[in-house]
Amino acid sequence: MKLPQNSEELLSNLEYLINQTYEVEKEFKELKNILNGVIEFLPQAIWVIDKENNIIAQNSKAKNLPEILNTKESEIELNNQFYLVQKSNLEDKIIISATNITEQKRNQRLISMGQMAAHLAHEIRNPIGSVSILLSVLSKKCNANNIIMEIKQAIFRVERIIKTTLLFSKGVIIKPKTFYISELEKELKNVIKYYSYSKNIEFIFFMPDIEINADFELFLLVLQNLIFNAIDAIEENSEDEGLIEIIYEKNEDNHLFHIYDSGIPFENKNILFDAFKTTKTKGNGLGLALSLQIIQAHNGNITLSENKKGFDIQIPCNI
């Protein structure tokens, strides 16, 4: 049976309308996928809430932080992480974002602590200098060598803490020069005399007459920090004896220093290089943090050794 002409036209228009509906639906799905992709790509946790308070869109970061939806605070702490919570209205929808600001909070605290520590270090430096001068005078007038040596060791420790604190607060600027690695060994053996310890510790140095281009004073400070940490670890050990090794080697591109010790294992490897955090009974928690800064300023790195208990230092031959 043949349909009237107007019926054929109606069917044709209906078919066109259905096809257009499919096209619109297809475009809508593509746009929705793009929107979900954009939301997932964002570094913040994102929620989109409708007027009935239902979640109509969220990314994977948001799914892990459901507690944030119930807060009215602009900042919230969850599982030792800090988040900045922001809300905005878009027609009848509410968009909520949560940005992790833990690192910013940590940096703010470090700046404040560094400023306070630097101020204290300046205040302590002058009287310590006076004590050192008076001690030199005293050593010429009496024979109490053991007592004087103990006082010198205590002053040396305070001066080292002051130097570390001021360097950390000011920031590290290196002044490279060429010197022999054996010169570091000579200085280290001399400075160890001023560090107090009670155990019988054997020091093994393999630091040959090979030239290196680095900041001598700052690199020496790094090795001092690692050796003194090793001494403290041995002091806390149950053994009466201990061993500390510094072994140098070189490959095609880098100078490599390995510092090993027989002391107690690292208690928390995750905070070793965090400033003002320490598990030791001595020190202020800046030694390793400053050492890492110094080595990174040389375009190098410090890592935990995979072979023995200790550290591996790597700096490029050409800085």
Residue 250: CB partners within 8 Å, gap ≥ 6?
210, 256, 317
pLDDT attached to residue 233? 92
Domain spans, the chain: 5-101, 102-171, 173-319
Q: Of 180-184, 283-287, 297-301, which range is least confident?
A: 283-287
Buried/exposed code over 259-283 (b: 16+ C-beta within 10 A; e: otherwise) = bbbbbbeeeeeebbbebeebeeeeb
Share of the chain above pLDDT 90, in %: 24
Q: pLDDT tens, 230-259? A: 999 999 988 889 999 999 999 889 999 999
| H helices present in the chain, as ranges | 5-41, 60-63, 102-141, 145-170, 181-192, 216-235, 287-297
Please check whether the domain covering 5-101 is classified as CATH 3.30.450.
yes
CB 129 within 8 A of CB 163: no
At residue 106, the pLDDT reads 73
Whole-angstrom distance, CA of residue 95 vs CA of residue 87: 6
Q: Can you give the pLDDT at residue 138?
A: 67
The mean per-residue pLDDT over the stretch 175-198 comes to 89
Q: What pLDDT, in 10s, does the model give residues 214-232? A: 999 889 989 988 999 999 9
Q: What CATH code is assigned to 102-171?
A: 1.10.287
pLDDT digits (tens, 9 = 90+) for 37-87: 667 777 888 888 888 888 888 888 888 888 888 777 788 888 788 888 888
- Please provide the CATH number assigned to the domain covering 173-319: 3.30.565.10
- Strand arrangement, sheet containing 93-100: 55-58, 45-49, 93-100, 81-90, 75-78
Whole-angstrom Cα distance, residue 218 to residue 20? 72
- Picking from 11-25, 126-140, 161-175, 227-241, which range would have the lowest pLDDT averaged per residue? 126-140
Residue type, 9: E
Provide the residue type at 143 as one letter: N
pLDDT above 80 (res 274): no
pLDDT of residue 144: 61
Model pTM score: 0.56
* Tokens coding 249: 């080697």
How confident is the model over 101-111, as pLDDT tens digits?
Answer: 888 877 766 66
Give the pLDDT band (50/70/90) at residue 283: low
Please give the average per-residue pLDDT across 6-35, as a whole number: 70
**pLDDT at 197 (0 to 100):** 86
Distance CA 221, CA 163 (A): 10
Closest to 255 measured CA to CA, from 212, 297, 208:
212
Residue 275 has what pLDDT?
A: 64
Mean confidence (pLDDT) of the chain:
80
Write the single-letter amino acid at 171: G
Average pLDDT over residues 252-276: 85
What is the reported pLDDT for 238?
86
Spatial contact of 247 and 227, defined as CB atoms under 8 Å apart: no
Amino acid identity of residue 282, one-letter, is K
Using the predicted structure, report yes or no on whether residue 3 has a pLDDT greater than 60: no
**The pLDDT value given to residue 91:** 79
Closest to 285 measured CA to CA, from 136, 117, 132: 117
Which pLDDT score is estimated for 279? 59
Total length of the chain? 319
pLDDT digits (tens, 9 = 90+) for 94-131: 888 888 888 887 776 666 666 666 666 666 666 666 66
φ/ψ region of 111 (left if φ > 0, alpha if ψ in -120 to 50, else beta) reads alpha
For 129, the 3-state DSSP assignment is: helix
Report the pLDDT value the prediction gives residue 198, as an integer from 0 to 100: 87
Question: Scanning the structure block, which residue is given the tokens 């050593």?
Answer: 139
